[in-house]
Amino acid sequence: MIDQSLHSRLGVETTNGDGFGVGWYGEASTPAVFKSVEPAWNDRNLKELSGHVRSGLVFAHIRASTGTPVQQTNCHPFRHGHWLWMHNGSIAGFHDVKRELLLAVDPSLYLDIEGSTDSETFFFLALTMGLEDDPPAAVERAVGLIEHVGREHGIEHPVQMTVATTDGRSIWGFRYSSEGKSRSLFYSARVDTLRAQYPDNPVLHQLSDESRLVVSEPLGDLEGAWNEVPESSFGVVREGEDELHPFTPRPPA
């Protein structure tokens, strides 16, 4: 996180210093979320927690604001019940479409929105459209709606996104943009394959065969370690099984 916050290579801004957040699952059914408005590279509590908390499923996000205020309620990951959500990208022209999109959020869910970002609105649209039952279909419907509303407002390319969401057991990762030039998304190769390829690498011996990393940018320089998620597709990572599928927005009826 610290390296990427200072020297992002594939992002829009090289500096991601507008706060950060970490969510993780422990003994409780609801995940913990730790958020800060400081740059990740300065936050001493982040280093403390990283050194002392263990979890089998961690979400981590560094923020480069596209205009909304730097405050904890705008930091990812966002949480609802036992779900986490984080988004890299933006809803184009959000200021103009915000009100209409918020009106499409289920009124009972609406009350739980705490911040002012496009990313949280996107999360609550996906929740409204059934995220908890069928995540891929819900995200496809949410994106379809955002594109529909955006285009009504004359916005050519309404959605730019990689999204990761989880219920604590499976992780869904989405890569899509209306323009077809989406931000990057990578997932790690199988640890057993890498271990056979690099028998002397000590890090690989600390990871279990089930370890998976899903990242915006490759970490480190290990050749063969990272696979890119293709344009307009999504992947599912869960115990014993990884899948990759095409992603197609579903416009409102």
Residue nearer to a copy of itself on the CB measure, 25 or 172:
25
Pick the stretch among 107-115, 128-136, 161-169, 219-227 that binds a copy of itself (CB under 8 A): 107-115
**Contacts of a copy of itself in 209-248 (CB under 8 A):** none
Residue nearer to a copy of itself on the CB measure, 47 or 169:
47
73 makes contact with a copy of itself (CB under 8 A)? yes
Q: Which are the contacts of 161, defined by CB distance < 8 A and separation ≥ 6?
A: 87, 88, 89, 122, 143, 174, 175, 176, 177, 182, 183
**Contacts of a copy of itself in 150-169 (CB under 8 A):** none
Options 18, 118, 140, 147; binder of a copy of itself; rule CB under 8 A: 18
> Least distance (Å) from a copy of itself to the CB of residue 35?
7
Which amino acid is located at 65 in the chain? S
Options 3, 58, 65, 232; binder of a copy of itself; rule CB under 8 A: 65
How many residues bind a copy of itself (CB under 8 A)? The answer is 45
Angle between helices 135-152 and 118-128 (to 10 degrees): 120
Return d(Cα 73, Cα 192) in angstroms, integer: 39
**Contacts of a copy of itself in 110-139 (CB under 8 A):** 110-111, 114-116
Q: Which are the contacts of 55, defined by CB distance < 8 A and separation ≥ 6?
A: 24, 25, 26
Options 2, 11, 33, 184; binder of a copy of itself; rule CB under 8 A: 33
Return d(Cα 232, Cα 174) in angstroms, integer: 8
> Least distance (Å) from a copy of itself to the CB of residue 75?
10
How many contiguous H segments (helices) and E segments (strands) does the chain have?
A: 8, 12
Return d(Cα 128, Cα 137) in angstroms, integer: 12
Pick the stretch among 104-112, 152-160, 191-199, 219-227 that binds a copy of itself (CB under 8 A): 104-112
Q: What is the CA angle 193-135-34, rounded to 5?
A: 75
Residue 158 gets which letter from DSSP?
A: -
Residues forming the site for a copy of itself (CB under 8 A): 6, 13-15, 17-18, 24, 26-28, 32-39, 41-42, 44-45, 48-49, 51-54, 65, 69-73, 95-96, 98-99, 103, 107, 110-111, 114-116
